[in-house]
Chains A and B, each alone.
Chain A
């Protein structure tokens, strides 16, 4: 699969052959750092001064490079497809080789970062429970009614939330049985076949 680079993207990347390959390698390092930790505009200004160009030009060059790397990593394109996609930019063979190396060296890490961008459902963090005996209520006195109170700790996108639930022991047993049944499904031949085929 070839990358389809827009005219605007090609324009931004056109800055790269205007600088040393060492600078392009540095831009590559900055691009991955930005993906790890977020952009730092001050770095553009320093580079712009050293290269005697506007800071916007540097920014667009780095962002163009970042986008090239993330799109290639996202689609997991082959070496050959990457080379063919970059070929249309008309860069020198040395620069093309450098870009390919940047892609191959950083692809795994970029994919890990991109995988964290998927929407996140609340997930289990921990659970506290308490066994209670209800002795009386507004509507009925002299009771002995067992109940289980559960405090479910959840994580979602880095936020921590809690949910308090209460149930009786019979329902809790039913819940446990349902969860055990779900786990047992994983052992069926159908599920095993699907998992084997995905791997």
Chain B
């Protein structure tokens, strides 16, 4: 009976999820010039996420991170992975 109750809670949680990650694309680039600065050497990570909402419609979201921002981003996921190991 205990197990049955856990499974009920699990599917309820899934229905409340606002979006589901469908795709995670990334690229690494270097900005070399811009309208405000003609000589640059600026590395960045660009991420494009595809998220499906509960109706199935897929929306894209792109964003960019500097190298330190990306390192922080990566650290978060390492922490999540570490916590999942303990569950």
A→B interface (CB under 8 Å) = 127-138, 147, 149, 164
Q: Indicate if the CB atoms of B30 and A135 lie closer than 8 Å.
A: yes
Q: CB-CB < 8 A to A149: which residues of B?
A: 31
Cβ 8 A contact of B31, one of A131, A136, A137, A138: A131
Number of residues in B with C-beta < 8 Å to the partner? Answer: 16
Q: Indicate if the CB atoms of A134 and B25 lie closer than 8 Å.
A: no
Cβ 8 A contact of A138, one of B27, B33, B36, B43: B27
Q: CB-CB < 8 A to A137: which residues of B?
A: 25-28
**Interface majority SS (helix, strand, loop, mixed), chain A:** strand
Tell me if B79 counts as interface (CB < 8 A to partner A): no
Q: CB-CB < 8 A to A135: which residues of B?
A: 28-30, 43
Q: Indicate if the CB atoms of B28 and A132 lie closer than 8 Å.
A: no
B→A interface (CB under 8 Å) = 24-36, 40, 43, 62
Q: CB-CB < 8 A to B31: which residues of A?
A: 130-132, 149
* A191 → B minimal CB distance (Å): 31
Which of B25, B31, B36 lies at the interface centre, i.e. has the most chain A CB atoms within 10 A of its CB? B31
Q: Indicate if the CB atoms of A132 and B25 lie closer than 8 Å.
A: no
Q: How many A-B residue pairs have CB under 8 A?
A: 42
Cβ 8 A contact of B27, one of A128, A129, A136: A136
Given contacts A132-B29, A135-B29, A138-B25, 5 further A-B contacts (CB under 8 A): A131-B33, A135-B30, A137-B25, A138-B26, A149-B31
* A74 → B minimal CB distance (Å): 43
* A129 → B minimal CB distance (Å): 5
Q: CB-CB < 8 A to B26: which residues of A?
A: 137-138
A49 to B33, CA, bound (A): 68
* A125 → B minimal CB distance (Å): 14
The residue of chain A having its C-beta at the shortest distance from the C-beta of B63 within the complex is: A164
Q: CB-CB < 8 A to B27: which residues of A?
A: 134, 136-138
Q: Name 19 A/B residue pairs within 8 A (Cβ), A-sorted.
A: A128-B34, A128-B35, A129-B34, A130-B31, A130-B33, A130-B34, A130-B35, A130-B40, A131-B32, A131-B34, A132-B30, A132-B32, A133-B32, A134-B27, A135-B29, A136-B27, A137-B26, A138-B25, A147-B29
* B34 → A minimal CB distance (Å): 4
